[in-house]
């Protein structure tokens, strides 16, 4: 079985179609070079502020004012229909709720009359919770993280972040579970929700902030609302998946035992879908934490806001210290929620009350003792600033050492990579005629997914062309393409190497799990330290963030090749290289391509955040739209990125499903 592994298409009719498509694309680019193509088929220009690369704008095709239309529509909703009064009322209610949690954690009149919760109480709760869910290791990690916040002077900011999470996470879960159950019971709702969630999950983080600012104003409540909107889709999807995986026999047994509709839902279906729904809770927590950090741009307080200020003033030592605090918080929240999801529920245990609820009772006792002790020892409520530790000077010294000792080598590396590789690739993307891109996208859709995929992918790119942001979209596409290429060049061989030995695979998957818990902003810190602020830093941050799925899916794909196929190939006398290239990679390719898909989605997500440290792509324009509170412009820019991501996602998924069917794996 000989395979075209990179494209994954069996030679034949499809292979010929690929050749024809590439020939047409090359001809269009060549005709552009010799000025054969008329101007109407030349590059569509980016009008207004989209014209960032003037030399590339040689055509004069009209564009459509999508941003203006969106602004008129949202003005109608906000002013004429009075939606702003409703949204402002929601914002005030959300602010009051956040204030309650903020006052409980840090003290204040809205904290039910209690003083700030003593830090030993939080440390004790973290320890008991970790031990109850997964034993001593998680208990020590959880308690140690709380003590880190205290000793390193991050307590106040960590508690502000937790206050936002205490509001956003439960709200997102309730909304997500409600919509998931509604979609499960009504196919029309499911069909309506799925495309909305697909767009929502591919929209850049910052695209959420602009409409929220316009409708809800500025402040920590606005950041929380943006976080809730961003975190709901994964909860909906996993709730729907969990409900769909409930065995029909289980549902029938519930009906036969006389359950009403509500009893069937709450006593049969939801408990049976518990694992998937708790994984959804884990995803909500991580999405909320990532968004809370980004929501610092619109005034959300906490660790994210503190990190943003330090990054803007280039105080990298303090930035690293705050980044460590965010990473530790992300790790313990991820580990606790996953441990909760994996913990088996014992529905048959008939234990005494004090044994069944021993851990909540221990937590309540720890809180009570901490409050009593804090009345006599104020240090338990407010840790003295004089006793805090800072490693900022150490990190600054490390950065200075890197700059002094590595500057010349890194400068040469940057210049070679930028001048000889990145800039030519960027110019090639900008130079390619729009009509050639249309042909390439539509042809790929036709070959991989049929006429529907061709039309859908083409319409996505036609929208981008007509929006007037083509040049910036091409720069975004160039950055994503280069980043994904580097991710695959590094990630797939690394995954193949790790899959050869179970121990290697476990270690590398553990590293991937840990890195996946980091909020995306954290990845800016090491690349700024190494490469300063430029295009290369932006691409490097995207690579570090997006490489994880390519490694993970390669390992999982190769390890899940059926044992019977391994035995058959071994008995036929194949060596390890023949087995790898003629069996394992072809069979694992659909799974690996899903990893390529996830890598691409991660890259599109991170490329907007990377605009914070360089490049003139769509991400930079979104930052500007956010500062201007220009809802229409921000939404158009977000949709341009989302449509490119959705096109890639659709084509790879269609190919992977077809390939699994042909291999008999579906």
Which of these, 366, 326, 362, 335, lies nearest to 164 by C-alpha position? Answer: 326
For residue 200, pLDDT over 50 is answered with yes
Mean of pLDDT values over 264-282:
85
Is the pLDDT score of 128 beyond 90?
Answer: yes
From the centroid of its chain, how far is CA 572?
Answer: 44
Say whether pLDDT at 210 is over 80.
no
Model confidence at 484, pLDDT cuts 50, 70, 90, reads very high
Distance between CA atoms of residues 2 and 354, nearest Å: 65
Residues in the chain, total: 666
> Which pair of structure tokens corresponds to residue 52?
């960032």
Residue 504, SS3?
A: helix
Residue 471 and residue 51 in contact, taking contact as beta carbons nearer than 8 Å? yes
- The lowest-confidence range among 311-325, 345-359, 372-386, 465-479 is 345-359
What local confidence, expressed as pLDDT, does residue 257 receive?
81
Contact 142, 126 (CB under 8 A): yes
Give pLDDT, residue 14: 60
Q: How far is CA 47 from the centre of its chain?
A: 31
Report pLDDT for 42: 47
CB contact at 8 A, 594 and 634: no
pLDDT in tens, 623-655: 788 777 788 888 898 889 989 998 998 888 888
Most confident of 40-54, 186-200, 215-229: 186-200
* Of residues 606, 633, 640, 609, the one with CA closest to residue 473: 640
Task: Say how far apart CA 325 and CA 327 lie, in whole Å.
Answer: 5
Helix or strand or coil: residue 4?
A: strand
The residue among 609 and 529 whose pLDDT is bigger is 609
Mean pLDDT, residues 108-129 = 80
- Region 414-429 average pLDDT: 85
Q: In a 3-state reduction of DSSP, which class is residue 9?
A: strand
List the beta bridge partners of residue 9: 4
Helices assigned H by DSSP within 295-391: 303-312, 316-342, 353-356, 358-376
Number of other CB atoms surrounding residue 378 within 10 Å: 12
What's the pLDDT tens digit per position in 577-590?
878 888 888 888 88
pLDDT score recorded for residue 62 = 55
Q: What is the pLDDT of residue 494?
A: 93
Long-range contacts of 330-334 (CB under 8 A, 24+ apart): 330/286, 330/289, 330/517, 330/518, 330/519, 331/141, 331/145, 331/514, 331/517, 332/126, 332/130, 332/138, 332/141, 332/142, 332/145, 333/165, 333/285, 333/286, 333/289, 333/517, 334/282, 334/285, 334/286, 334/517
- The Cα–Cα gap between 49 and 624 comes to 10
Residue 314 CB coordination number (10 Å):
10
The encoded tokens of residue 36 equal 């054969």
Residues in Cβ contact with 18 at an 8 Å cutoff, skipping those fewer than 6 apart: 7, 9, 447
pTM across the whole model: 0.79
Beta carbons within 10 angstroms of residue 199's beta carbon: 16
List domains and CATH numbers for the chain. 1-81+400-666 (1.10.3720.10)
What are phi and psi for residue 591, nearest 5 degrees? -70, -40
Instruction: Read off the pLDDT of each residue in 87-106 and give the average, rounded to a whole number.
Output: 84
Mean pLDDT in residue range 552-565: 84
Q: Which carries the bigger pLDDT value, residue 355 or residue 483?
A: 483
- In the predicted model, is pLDDT for residue 16 greater than 90? no
pLDDT at 52: 42
Question: Which candidate, 228, 234, 241, 240, places its Cα nearest to that of 180?
Answer: 240
pLDDT of 432-449, one tens digit each? 888 888 988 888 888 888
DSSP 8-class letter at 41: G
pLDDT at 314 over 50: yes
130: helix, strand or coil: helix
Tell me, rounded to whole angstroms, the distance of Cα 644 from its chain centroid.
Answer: 16
pLDDT value of position 477: 92
User: What is the distance between the alpha carbons of residues 589 and 610, in angstroms, rounded to a whole number?
Assistant: 30
Do 395 and 316 meet the contact criterion of CB atoms below 8 Å apart? yes
Give per-residue pLDDT as tens, 363-409.
999 989 988 888 888 888 888 887 888 888 888 888 778 777 877 77
pLDDT classification of 478: cutoffs 50, 70, 90: very high
Q: What's the confidence (pLDDT) of residue 4?
A: 37
At 463, is the pLDDT very low, low, confident or very high (cuts 50, 70, 90)?
A: very high
Q: Which two tokens stand for residue 610?
A: 């990377």
Q: How far apart are CA 125 and CA 131, in angstroms?
A: 10
Determine the Cα angle at 332 with ends 227 and 386, to 5°: 95
Token digits of residue 510: 């553990």
Q: Which of 342, 486, 370, 436 is nearest to 123 (CA)?
A: 370
User: What average pLDDT does the structure give for the chain?
Assistant: 80
Longest dimension (CA), the chain: 86
Alpha helices in 517-534 (DSSP H): 524-531
Q: What are the helix (H) ranges across 76-186?
A: 83-106, 119-134, 136-151, 155-185
For residue 666, what pLDDT is reported? 58
Please list the residues that pair with 4 across neighbouring strands.
Answer: 9
Report the alpha-carbon distance of residue 648 to residue 644 in Å, rounded.
7
Question: Can you tell me whether residue 345 is helix, strand or coil?
Answer: coil
DSSP letter at 46? P
């Amino acid at each position: 079985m000989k395979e075209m592994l990179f494209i994954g298409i069996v030679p034949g009719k499809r292979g010929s179609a690929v050749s024809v498509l590439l020939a047409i694309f090359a001809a269009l680019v060549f005709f552009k070079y010799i000025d054969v193509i008329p101007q109407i088929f030349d590059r569509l220009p980016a009008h207004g502020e989209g014209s960032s690369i003037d030399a590339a704008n040689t055509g004069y095709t009209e564009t459509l004012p999508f941003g203006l239309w969106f602004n008129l529509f949202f003005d109608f909703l906000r002013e004429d229909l009075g939606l702003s009064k409703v949204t402002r009322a929601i914002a005030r209610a959300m602010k009051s709720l956040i204030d309650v949690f903020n006052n409980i954690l840090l003290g204040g009149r809205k904290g039910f009359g209690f003083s700030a919760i003593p830090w030993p109480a939080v440390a004790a709760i973290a320890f008991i919770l970790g031990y109850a869910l997964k034993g001593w290791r998680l208990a020590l990690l959880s308690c140690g993280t709380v003590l880190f916040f205290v000793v390193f002077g991050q307590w106040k900011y960590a508690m502000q972040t937790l206050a936002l999470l205490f509001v956003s996470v439960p709200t997102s879960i309730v909304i997500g579970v409600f919509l998931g159950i509604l979609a499960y019971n009504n196919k029309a709702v499911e069909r309506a929700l799925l495309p909305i969630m697909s767009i929502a999950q591919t929209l850049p983080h910052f695209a959420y902030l602009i409409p929220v600012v316009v409708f809800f104003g500025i402040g920590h409540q606005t950041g929380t609302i943006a976080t809730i909107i961003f975190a709901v889709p994964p909860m909906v999807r996993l709730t729907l998946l969990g409900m769909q995986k409930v065995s029909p026999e289980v549902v029938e047994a519930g009906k036969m035992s006389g359950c009403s509709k509500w009893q069937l839902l709450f006593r049969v279906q939801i408990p049976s879908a518990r694992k998937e729904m708790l994984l959804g809770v884990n995803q909500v927590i991580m999405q909320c934490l990532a968004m809370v950090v980004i929501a610092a741009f619109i005034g959300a307080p906490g660790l994210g806001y503190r990190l943003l200020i330090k990054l803007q003033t280039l105080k990298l030592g303090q930035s690293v210290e705050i980044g460590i605090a965010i990473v530790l918080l992300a790790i313990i929240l991820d580990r606790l929620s996953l441990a909760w999801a994996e913990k088996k529920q014992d529905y048959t245990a008939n234990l005494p009350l004090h044994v069944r609820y021993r851990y909540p009772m221990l937590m309540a006792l720890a809180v009570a003792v901490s409050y009593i002790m804090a009345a006599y020892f104020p240090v338990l409520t407010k840790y003295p600033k004089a006793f805090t530790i800072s490693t900022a000077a150490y990190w600054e010294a490390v950065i200075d050492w890197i700059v002094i000792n590595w500057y010349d080598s890194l400068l040469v590396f940057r210049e070679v990579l930028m001048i000889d590789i990145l800039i030519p690739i960027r110019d090639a993307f900008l130079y390619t005629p729009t009509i050639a891109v249309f042909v390439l996208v539509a042809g790929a859709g036709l070959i991989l997914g049929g006429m529907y995929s061709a039309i859908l992918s083409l319409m996505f790119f036609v929208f981008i062309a007509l929006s007037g942001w083509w040049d910036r979209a091409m720069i975004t596409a160039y950055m994503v393409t280069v980043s994904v290429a580097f991710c695959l060049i590094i990630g797939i061989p690394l995954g193949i190497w790790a899959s050869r030995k179970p121990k290697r695979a476990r270690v590398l998957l553990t590293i991937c799990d840990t890195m996946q818990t980091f909020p995306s902003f954290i990845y800016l810190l090491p690349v700024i330290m190494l490469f300063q602020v430029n295009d290369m830093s932006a691409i490097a941050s995207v690579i570090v963030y997006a490489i994880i799925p390519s490694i993970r899916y390669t390992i999982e794909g190769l390890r899940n090749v059926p044992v019977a196929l391994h035995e058959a190939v071994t008995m036929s006398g194949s060596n390890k290289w023949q087995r790898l290239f003629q069996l394992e990679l072809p069979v694992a390719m659909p799974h690996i391509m899903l990893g390529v898909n996830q890598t691409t989605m991660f890259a599109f997500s991170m490329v907007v955040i990377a605009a914070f440290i360089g490049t003139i792509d769509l991400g930079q324009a979104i930052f500007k739209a956010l500062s201007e509170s220009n809802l229409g412009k921000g939404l158009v820019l977000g949709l341009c990125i989302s449509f490119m991501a959705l096109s890639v996602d659709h084509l790879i998924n269609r190919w992977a499903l077809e390939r699994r069917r042909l291999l008999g794996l579906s």
